[in-house]
Amino acid sequence: MNNISASLIKGMKNSKHFFEKHGSLILSLAAGASTICAVVSAVQATPKALEKIEEENAQSKPEIVQTAWIYYIPTAAAVGISLTCIFGAHILNQKQQKALVGTYLLLEQSYKDYRKKAAELYGDEADNNIKTEVAKEKFNADEVLKTENGGDELFYDDYSGRYFNSTVENVILAEYHFNRNFALRGSASLNEFYEFLGILGINGGELLGWDIYEGESFYGYSWIDFDHTFSVTEDGLECYIISFSFPPHLSEYLL
């Protein structure tokens, strides 16, 4: 008996975990199936309803509704199920998004604490040296991105770890227009900044970014500052390293 109870409890837990993980997909598929059923049942019900209306000689709209409504009960039920599944999937997606945001914020806070403590212990110069050394390790002449605006000067995006060619003027203009959109709209995504730079966005970059509300409330910024570090390697390679004073974060305004 105990083994049966334990198996039932384990099965219920596994089912709950499976639904939490795949619930939105299941509900979306159910909504699609219910919509198809609604269309099919409506097609099947219409000839029967028309035949009944003709038999009863219904003329006015109330008479037609009173005569034919019973044939559309399956259609109404299928539509109701479809709407329920759609709303349920939306609620689950919101919960999953909130969980993802919460996890990311914890990781982001740990990263910020680490960078802050490292700067306190070793100074800003050490932080810049680390950025420079990381940039040197990632350099590959064959992987340097060519921007739409052109330019021969070398830049390194510290966040995505990518090199690209541009000009100082184009980069400054990109930062200005990006901040202008941020100020006017109240939010801006990471990929939007990359678009202004003339390089491709990154996966998930449309969900990462900055917003004025969270910026002022939690991070203390109302304008996105960019750090520029000029680096020269032992081989004489000159490069501008671009980094953010406040790194992008997941924001509900971008979801």
As a whole number, the mean pLDDT across the chain is: 66
Residue 132, C-beta contacts closer than 8 angstroms, at least 6 positions apart: 229, 231, 241
Q: How many CB atoms lie within 10 A of CB 100?
A: 13
φ, ψ of residue 123 to 5 degrees: the values are: 90, 165
**CA torsion, ordered 233, 235, 239, 245, to nearest 10 deg:** -20
Over the stretch 218-251, which tens digit does the pLDDT of each residue have? 666 678 889 898 888 667 778 898 988 888 877 7
For the cut 80, the answer to whether the pLDDT of residue 209 exceeds it is yes
pLDDT at 195: 94
For the cut 70, the answer to whether the pLDDT of residue 65 exceeds it is no
Q: Among 14, 22, 13, which Cα is nearest to 88's?
A: 22
φ, ψ of residue 26 to 5 degrees: the values are: -60, -45
Over the stretch 194-205, which tens digit does the pLDDT of each residue have? 999 999 998 888
pLDDT band (50, 70, 90) for residue 109: low
For the cut 60, the answer to whether the pLDDT of residue 172 exceeds it is yes
In angstroms, rounded to a whole number, what is the distance separating the alpha carbons of residues 26 and 86?
A: 10
pLDDT at 26: 54
pLDDT band (50, 70, 90) for residue 6: very low
N-to-C CA span, the chain = 49
For the cut 90, the answer to whether the pLDDT of residue 177 exceeds it is yes
pLDDT at 39: 44
Q: How large a percentage of the chain has pLDDT more than 90?
A: 13
Q: What is the DSSP string of 26-59?
A: HHHHHHHHHHHHHHHHHHHHHHHHHHHHHHHT--
Residue 58's identity, in one-letter code, is A
For the cut 70, the answer to whether the pLDDT of residue 118 exceeds it is no
CA distances from 254 to 31, 102, 205, 210 (A): 26, 15, 10, 9
Measure the CA angle with vertex 94, ends 224 and 79; round to 5°. 140
Q: How large a percentage of the chain has pLDDT more than 70?
A: 35
pLDDT band (50, 70, 90) for residue 193: very high
Helix, strand, coil tally for the chain in percent (to 5): 65, 15, 20
